[in-house]
Structures are given as structure tokens and as C-alpha cells.
Structure 1
Amino acid sequence: MKDEYDSFRRRVRRERRSVGGVAVADVLTGLLPVLDAVDEARRHHDVAGGFEQVVNLLEGQLTALRPESSGAPGDPFGPARHEVASYRCTDQVEGPTCPVVLRPGHRVGEHLLRPAEVEVTGPPAGP
């Protein structure tokens, strides 16, 4: 009887962690357009005053959820983590690579929130 109870407790703990991970992923997915807008505002030096305080608070809270950026220039192309915006053939690479990241991807734990949007450069097709 005790073994069954211990097994039940472990299963409930696993399920709670799983549901919590999905909930965090859902919230972060909804906030990605906000993060994109903040990044765009920073590129144009439009983050100042009260807006800067809001951005700092938002980023501080998001850090606690541990989202990870993915997709860096020079990464090998991976269809599970990259979305192709354009493709260019060249003899200068051995396999498909991502020289330009147009929009970073994001993940939290095992959950891919959004693939990185990239330009891909690859070798020409065979004969």
C-alpha cells in the first residue's frame, strides 16, 4: 500500500511540473510579440523614461522564467529550430548554414516557443 502511495505521489509531482512547464511556455509565447517590439524600439533608441522602467521590469520578470534565445549567425540549419525566410546557393559552404538571423527563436526548457527566422546559404544541388 505504501509503495502504491509513493508511486502516486511521484506521478502527481511529474504531472504538475509538466503542466507548469506548458503554462510558462504558453505565457511566454504570448509575450514574444511584445519582446520583438521592445527589441525594435531599442534598435531605434526609443526606450526612455517611463517606458524604459516598464521594459526593465518586464525583462526582470521574464528572466525568472528562464527563456533562452536561439539562433545565431553561422549556426548549421536545423528544420526543427529554424524557419527559412530565404535560401541562397553558394560553393563556399559544405552544408546549409544560417549566416543571417532575421528574428531570434526562443525556447524554455524542452518547449520551442518559436523557431528562429533565418536566411539559409547552402551548396548547389548535385548533378
Structure 2
Amino acid sequence: MSENENFDPQAEDGGPADDGGADQQPEKGDSQTFEEIVEGVELENPEEQKADDLPSREAQLESLLAERTEDLQRLQAEYVNFKKRSDRERNAARQSGVEKVVSSLVPVLDAIHMAREHGEVTDGSGFKAVTDALEKVAADHDLSAYGEVGDAFDPYLHNALMQIPLPGATVVSVSQVMGRGYKVGDRVVRPAQVAVSDPDPAALGDQDAGEDAPEADGESPADGVEK
């Protein structure tokens, strides 16, 4: 082996010999410094504030809990309002669809009603089975007919077409029904087509006379008064 085979230039110059990289510095990026970790985070310096001014850990947790509780309550209220609004819109859409369907049945029900009045719907006939089925469908959707002679006139429920006197009427009343009205629940689908009558003066006179007449077995106001 020659003399220069294990020659170390640093050893010759008086520097430390190469020990296999044990004293080498770590490359940049191998570890983070404290300044890099806390970069962008505002730290409170306890030396700059009094100990009494610093909030305790319990106070900070209570404040954070109150904020999160308020956020949760607000979200819950928004969800409840959204659910109520959705339910109202769904019910309104369903009701509108039902009214649209049953409104198309009104002319058919009018024809069935006229056929019944003329005696064309007889027991055991196929036509009666059909009419019963249609009326059952209408009843299942809460569709009902109204409008009878003698009913008190209501402009919301009745459409007055003419005036025909009705003997014995004490209020403005329905004297004739040209077309029945229909309702789905409390909502009017079609008002009744009617003739109306003003109160009968004779009936009003008889009513007033009955109210003013003294009782047969009773005493008059002058009875029992000493003269």
C-alpha cells in the first residue's frame, strides 16, 4: 500500500479528519424552527399584562361554549322555520291539486243530481253503480254540495241570479236553487246559483205581533196596581 492511499488533506492542514459525517449540519427543511411554527399567530406576552387582566382557561372555555350554543340555537330556529314553511307549501300544493281534480267532477255531479230528481237513477241499474262510485270519490276528497231553498243568503256561498219571493221568509233567503254549490272542506269550489227573496212583510208582521202580544194567563202591567 502506498503512502498516499489514506491521505487526508484536512488532516494535513491541521483540520479535523472526516469522521463519516457525524458533525454535518442538517439540511434546511428537515425540521421547523419555533418562529416558523408560530408564524401568523398572535401570542400574548404575559410580561406585558397583569396577571389579573388575563382571562382564565375556564373563562375562555365558557365564552367559547356560549358562542357555540348561540350558533346551535340559531341553526335550530332556522331549521324549524324552514320545516314549517315547507309543510305549508306542500299542503297548499296538495290542496290545489285536489281542488283542480274535483272541480272537473262538478259538471258530472250536477248531471247525476238532475238524473236523481227525474227518477232516472234506480236501484239495481248499472247507472246507479256508476253514480255511487263517483259520489264516493267526491266524498273521499271532502267534496260536498250545498244549497237548499230557505237557506239564509250568504254572498260568499251564493251567487244571486234573480229575485223570487218566498212566503214566510224572515230574512233574505234562497227561494230557488238553479245550481248547487260545492266546497272542498271549508273552501268554496263553486258558489250556488240561486234566486233570492226579501223578507216577507206578512211573516214579519206576524212575528212582531207574536212578540208584542201579552201572555194569555199572565197579568197585564196594570194588574195589581191600586187605583
TM-score, length of structure 2 as denominator length:
0.49
Task: Count the aligned residue pairs.
Answer: 124
Unaligned runs of 5+ in 2: 1-74, 201-227
What is the 5 A alignment of 1:51-62? Answer: 51-62=127-138
Is residue 95 of structure 2 the alignment partner of residue 21 of structure 1? yes
Instruction: Measure, in 2, the Cα distance between the counterparts of 1:96 and 1:27.
Output: 34
- Bigger radius of gyration, 1 or 2? 2
Is residue 173 of structure 2 the alignment partner of residue 97 of structure 1? yes
Deviation at 1:76, TM superposition (A): 1.8
Structure 2 letter corresponding to 1:6: V
Is residue 133 of structure 2 the alignment partner of residue 64 of structure 1? no
Deviation at 1:47, TM superposition (A): 2.7
Task: Indicate conservation of the 8 Å contact 2:150/2:169, yes or no.
Answer: no
Hey, what does 1:43 align to over in structure 2?
117
Instruction: Measure, in 2, the Cα distance between the counterparts of 1:90 and 1:69.
Output: 22
Structure 2 letter corresponding to 1:11: R
Is residue 111 of structure 2 the alignment partner of residue 33 of structure 1? no
Hey, what does 1:78 align to over in structure 2?
154
Deviation at 1:46, TM superposition (A): 2.1
Structure 1 letter corresponding to 2:87: R
State the Cα RMSD in Å: 2.3
What is the 5 A alignment of 1:96-115? Answer: 96-115=172-191
Helix, strand or coil for the counterpart of 2:196? Answer: strand
Deviation at 1:88, TM superposition (A): 3.5
Deviations 1:40-68 (Å, cap 9, x if unpaired)? 12222223532222212111121111112
Unaligned runs of 5+ in 1: none
Q: After the TM superposition, list the runs of 4 or more consecutive aligned residues in structure 1 that deviate by more than 6 angstroms.
A: none
Q: Among all aligned residue pairs of Structure 1 and Structure 2, give the percentage whose two residues are the same amino acid.
A: 32
- Structure with higher RCO (Cα < 8 A, 6+ apart): 1
Helix, strand or coil for the counterpart of 1:12? Answer: helix
Task: Judging by fraction of residues, say which structure has more strand.
Answer: 1
